[in-house]
Amino acid sequence: MNKAKIFSIDQPWAITVIYMIVGINWIFFSDKLISNIFSDNIQEMSRFQMIKGCLYVLLTGLLLYFLIKRLYDQVNGRKQELELLFTNPNLGIFKVDEKGYFTYVSPNILNIIGYVDKEIIGKKIINFTPKKYREEDQRKLDKITQSESEKGFITNKYLEDKQGNLIIIEMFGIVLKDKKGKVKGYLTAFQNITKQENFLNSLEAKNKQLQEIASDQSHLVRAPLARILGIIELMQNIKLDPDEKLDLITYLKTSGEELDEALKDISQKMRNKAS
């Protein structure tokens, strides 16, 4: 373990130890100094004890101010970072208990699915899943709850907004445990990836359509192409009189035109599907 982290004054026990060390040393050395200087003068010793007490309060107050301000600045910095992070409308956090009931939702998720917090808090997360995906989502949630891993989890979750639209979020979660190690819930950060998923699905669908067009139209290309290759083979390997050559050239031109039309037809259909 990192030594710097062990003795970091970010820890509550470290602040307490520093305060105790300073206090004990102040009392011990200041009393010893007073007894050596004012051993015969009780009045001066009493006055110096009062001054010593005031200085102790002042010094420990300054020490506590420094430590508290340092922690406050760190907490405030983290708070600003989180506020900046979650101003993104596609990011947010929510918490559920060990049974899957919402206990907290950030404003972002309310904006995404169109509900108010009263309509979500206390409701089960699976209730907001479209019926088509409930079985799949339930398997994912069961896998998370049954896992004994201390690591976090990443998975996609389907939600249905108030208007019935499909929302897809990517969840990054951790398991929350009490002091005894018993699971008490799950804390999850999420990102709305609906647009990205829809875009990818659209690309896959168009790619499939283009493949189907290419497969369906390939025979229109093969027929004239086969005739062109056959005519070229005849003209290269067989002696033909001028009339026969002229006929073959006519067939070659006709086959070339058919091939050109077939290619234009395929190109037009691909453009129509892509648009």
pLDDT band at residue 4 under the 50/70/90 scheme? very low
Q: Give the per-residue pLDDT at 130.
A: 92
Q: Give the per-residue pLDDT at 50.
A: 77
Q: Give the per-residue pLDDT at 262.
A: 77
Q: Residue 226 has which token pair? A: 């086969």
Phi, psi dihedral angles at 198 (to 5 degrees)? -65, -40
Instruction: Identify which of 262, 227, 225, 261 has the alpha carbon closest to the alpha carbon of residue 247.
Output: 227
pLDDT band at residue 10 under the 50/70/90 scheme? low
In this predicted structure, which of 30-44, 96-110, 166-180 has the lowest mean pLDDT? Answer: 30-44
Q: Which residue has the higher pLDDT, 189 or 224?
A: 189
**What confidence tens digit (pLDDT) does each residue in 108-134 have?**
777 788 888 888 999 999 999 999 999
**What confidence tens digit (pLDDT) does each residue in 131-187 have?**
999 999 888 888 888 876 667 888 899 999 988 899 999 998 888 888 887 888 898
d(CA 159, CA 125): 9
Task: Go through 23-57 and write b for each residue having 16 or more CB atoms within 10 A of its CB, e for each that does not.
Answer: eeeeeeebeeebeeebeeeeeeeeebeeebeeeee
pLDDT band at residue 101 under the 50/70/90 scheme? very high
**What confidence tens digit (pLDDT) does each residue in 209-238 have?**
777 777 766 767 777 778 888 878 877 777
d(CA 174, CA 39): 63
* Spatial CB neighbours of 256, under 8 Å, sequence gap ≥ 6: 224, 228
pTM of the model: 0.53
Q: Give the per-residue pLDDT at 86.
A: 61
